[in-house]
């Protein structure tokens, strides 16, 4: 079975075609600058060089058309006929409380996703565009939606309710939803496998990338997570501020004369590692600047570490213990210094950190010593594969 996985952004479209018989990737690629000047498709068939295709790509329909053409191409294609694509799995972002698991996409699902646009005005519209483009360009192929919020739907009310008047929860579904669910699910399933699939387990998964979030997962079910109604809450991120005293909003809006959009831009695009360091939103740049003596960059690293530690401590307390901690995503998989700085502060949990094992990048490995009370792992995430697996399972039913 061949499954095409799509991740549609407002001006980009990432894709991977999987052969689900052995879960291998046949080809992957990225369409950039949809609707903008300089739009471009980069296509990479497995084991071959990347091909760059420049073309006018005014919308998602044309983007899908180009992706299909690249997959079918005589030279760099990997399939002979469009009919070889058995299903399409879409990364769909916000599923509200409606979608607690992945589902087959039909008109009702699309209508519900459209209703949920109020909760995810930036993320859901491009997903819907990607779905509609597939309906038009690859008609009749079953499609599955895999929501970023779904895995977190097991949270109890005490984790998802904010301390605001209850009527706002009732009126606007204002609550914590959490994001990166597909990644937290992928790495926590793998972690439980490594632990021998015990009946009971307490795992803290740390997805640390440009966007970062932690999840507390007890017996395979999310108990709490650091992102909230939107992906702005929680840890300090590349350009996002994470947790704030909410009173800062009216204060800054008044002092700086910011309107709602201006305030949103400050919190989402100008804060985080970038905002504190003034150097970059990219962890590698900030580490480099700190090593060269930039004090603000050094403080930004400290703040990042501290917010992760704060949540690990909170989640260990909430679950009354923790069996394993998992690091994943760009920083979690590659950032040796970040992992070291965090783990060295967790001796109180009984973690014996293995510095030698930690001296690696992007591979699955245990970075705690044998006998460590809490085990620590690096587990590379693979959201696309998780989407492909869900898609295969759902359409096989």
For 166, residues 6+ apart whose C-beta sits below 8 A from its C-beta are none
| Angle at which helices 181-194 and 383-396 cross, to 10° | 90
Enumerate residues 184-223 that contact ligand ADP by CB under 6 A: 209-211
Q: Is 45 a residue that touches ligand ADP (CB under 6 A)?
A: no
Q: Is 346 a residue that touches ligand ADP (CB under 6 A)?
A: no
* Smallest distance, ligand ADP to C-beta of residue 379, A: 13
Which position has the token pair 């992706």? 67
Lay out the site mask for ligand ADP across 243-282 (x = CB under 6 A, - = otherwise).
Answer: ---------------------------------------x
Q: 2 vs 209, which CB is nearer to ligand ADP?
A: 209
Of 21, 81, 108, 148, catalytic: 148
* Smallest distance, ligand ADP to C-beta of residue 332, A: 8
Number of Cβ within 10 Å of residue 126's Cβ equals 19
Contact 364/313 with Cβ under 8 angstroms? no
* Smallest distance, ligand ADP to C-beta of residue 287, A: 6
Q: Is 335 a residue that touches ligand ADP (CB under 6 A)?
A: yes
The β-bridge partners of 29 are 15, 43
Q: 244 vs 291, which CB is nearer to ligand ADP?
A: 291
Contact 326/203 with Cβ under 8 angstroms? yes
Contact 381/186 with Cβ under 8 angstroms? yes
Active site residue 148: yes
Q: 160 vs 304, which CB is nearer to ligand ADP?
A: 304
* Smallest distance, ligand ADP to C-beta of residue 223, A: 23
Q: Which of 334, 358, 368, 382 binds ligand ADP (CB under 6 A)?
A: 334
Q: What is the DSSP string of 218-282?
A: ETTEEEEES--SSTTSSS--SS---S--TTHHHHHHHHHT--HHHHHHHHHHS-HHHHHHSS-SS
The Cβ-side half-sphere exposure at 346, using a 13 Å CA radius, reads: 34
Q: Is 329 a residue that touches ligand ADP (CB under 6 A)?
A: yes
**Catalytic positions:** 148
- Catalog residues that contact ligand ADP under the rule CB under 6 A: 209-211, 238, 282-284, 329-331, 334-335, 361
């Amino acid at each position: 079975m061949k499954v095409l996985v799509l991740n549609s952004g407002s001006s980009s479209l990432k894709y991977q075609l999987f052969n689900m018989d052995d879960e291998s990737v046949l080809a992957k690629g990225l369409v950039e600058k949809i609707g903008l000047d300089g739009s471009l498709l980069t296509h990479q068939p497995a084991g071959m060089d990347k091909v760059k295709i420049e073309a006018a790509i005014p919308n998602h329909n044309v983007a899908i058309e180009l992706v299909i053409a690249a997959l079918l191409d005589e030279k760099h294609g990997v399939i002979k006929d469009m009919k070889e694509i058995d299903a399409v799995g879409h990364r769909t972002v916000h599923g509200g409380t409606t979608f607690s698991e992945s589902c087959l996409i039909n008109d009702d699902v699309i209508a519900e996703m459209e209703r949920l646009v109020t909760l995810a005005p930036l993320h859901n519209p491009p997903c819907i565009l990607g779905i509609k483009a597939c309906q038009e360009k690859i008609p009749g192929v079953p499609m599955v939606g895999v929501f970023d919020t779904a895995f977190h739907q097991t949270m109890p009310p005490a984790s998802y309710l904010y301390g605001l008047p209850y009527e706002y929860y009732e009126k606007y579904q204002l609550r914590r939803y959490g994001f990166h669910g597909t990644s937290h699910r992928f790495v926590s399933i793998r972690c439980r496998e490594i632990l021998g699939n015990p009946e009971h387990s307490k795992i803290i998964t740390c997805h640390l990338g440009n966007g970062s979030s932690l999840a507390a997962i007890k017996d395979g079910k999310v108990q709490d997570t650091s992102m909230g109604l939107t992906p702005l809450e929680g840890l300090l991120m590349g350009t996002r501020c994470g947790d704030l005293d909410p009173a800062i909003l009216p204060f800054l809006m008044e002092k700086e004369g910011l309107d709602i959009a201006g305030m949103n831009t400050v919190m989402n695009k100008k804060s985080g590692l970038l905002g504190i360091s003034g150097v970059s939103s990219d962890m590698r740049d900030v580490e480099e600047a700190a090593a060269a003596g930039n004090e603000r960059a050094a403080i930004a690293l400290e703040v990042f570490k501290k917010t992760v530690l704060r949540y690990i401590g909170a989640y260990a307390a909430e679950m009354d213990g923790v069996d394993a901690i998992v690091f994943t995503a760009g920083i979690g998989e590659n950032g040796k210094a970040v992992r070291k700085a965090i783990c060295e502060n967790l001796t109180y949990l009984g973690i014996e950190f293995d510095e030698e094992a930690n001296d690696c990048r992007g591979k699955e490995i245990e970075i705690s010593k044998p006998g460590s009370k809490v085990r620590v792992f690096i587990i590379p995430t693979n959201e696309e594969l998780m989407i492909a697996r869900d898609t295969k399972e759902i359409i096989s039913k």
